[in-house]
């Protein structure tokens, strides 16, 4: 069964992560979750509160489910994987400093394997210098991360540029996952 790598860390966004975690195996791919260490991680729920009496400029964070990483980044051989799915949340803010995750990410782009990136996941591919010259989308508050990585940011549900498909948030999951699965099977 071909494998898809899913890097996570504490504060990985639950909807960004769990929908693809269950969707990808439906088409015969094994999801392998990786983290800074092989252990249990805490996900979070991010949404702009729907209460108009208390306006928020950004998302509110609440505790989510737990998800276990099967392998530590340092033990991942990216050659064993058909693709990579990078979710958002706050985890990308700190796991992008992991040298092994940068090594892994670069492999997928150099090998032109399918990569899916949603929301704050753009921070990982930007830090790995893999989006320079590409067009991407992400949550609007991460447009600067895309630009600093040398990409052109556009506000669209999904953008495909070569082996990369990017989405703004989990609200775009349906077209996002449809395209990623087409890329994996292609």
Point out which residues pair with 116 in neighbouring strands. Answer: 85, 165
Position 60 scores a pLDDT of 76
Among 54-63, 65-74, 117-126, 128-137, name the one with the lowest average pLDDT: 54-63
CA triplet 133, 15, 32: central angle to 5 degrees? 75
pLDDT band (50, 70, 90) for residue 47? confident
Q: What are phi and psi of 11, to 5 degrees?
A: 75, 25
Going along 3-97, which residue ranges are E strands? 3-7, 12-13, 30-35, 40-47, 60-68, 71-72, 81-86
User: Average pLDDT, whole number, for the chain?
Assistant: 95
pLDDT per residue as tens digits for the range 4-45: 999 999 999 999 999 999 999 999 999 999 999 999 999 999
Domain with residue 90: its CATH number is 3.40.50.880
Position 146 scores a pLDDT of 98
Pick 131 or 50 by higher pLDDT. 131
Read off the tokens for 92: 């990308």
87-97 mean pLDDT: 97
Encode 68-88 in three state secondary structure: ECCEEHHHCCHHHEEEEEECC
Position 3 scores a pLDDT of 98
SS3 64: strand
Among 30-39, 48-57, 94-103, 104-113, name the one with the lowest average pLDDT: 48-57
Position 103 scores a pLDDT of 98
Report the C-alpha gap between 186 and 165 in whole angstroms: 14
Q: What are phi and psi of 112, to 5 degrees?
A: 60, 35
Position 114 scores a pLDDT of 98
Read off the tokens for 167: 């989405």
Q: Residue 87 is part of which domain span?
A: 3-185
**Total structural domains in the chain?**
1
pLDDT band (50, 70, 90) for residue 151? very high
pLDDT per residue as tens digits for the range 54-78: 776 767 788 899 999 999 999 999 9
Residue with tokens 């950004």: 58
Q: What is the DSSP letter of 120?
A: G
Position 108 scores a pLDDT of 98
Q: How many residues does the chain have?
A: 186
Which residues are known to be catalytic?
A: 120
- Percent pLDDT > 70 in the chain is 97
């Amino acid at each position: 069964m071909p494998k898809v790598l899913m890097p996570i860390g504490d504060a990985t966004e639950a909807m960004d992560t769990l929908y693809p975690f269950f969707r990808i195996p439906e088409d015969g791919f094994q999801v392998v979750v990786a983290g800074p260490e092989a252990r249990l991680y805490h996900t979070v729920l991010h949404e702009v509160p729907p209460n108009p009496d208390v306006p928020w400029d950004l998302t509110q964070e609440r505790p989510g489910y737990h998800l276990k990483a099967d392998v530590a980044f340092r033990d991942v051989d990216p050659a064993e994987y058909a693709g990579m799915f990078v979710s958002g949340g706050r985890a990308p803010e700190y796991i992008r400093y992991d040298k092994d995750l940068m090594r892994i990410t670069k492999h997928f782009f150099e090998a032109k394997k399918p990569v899916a990136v949603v929301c704050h996941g753009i921070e990982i591919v930007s830090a790995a210098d893999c989006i320079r010259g590409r067009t991407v989308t992400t949550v609007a508050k991460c447009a600067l991360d895309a630009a600093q990585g040398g990409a052109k940011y556009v506000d669209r549900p999904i953008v495909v540029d070569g082996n990369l498909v990017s989405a703004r948030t989990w609200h775009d999951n349906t077209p996002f996952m449809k395209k990623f699965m087409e890329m994996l099977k292609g």
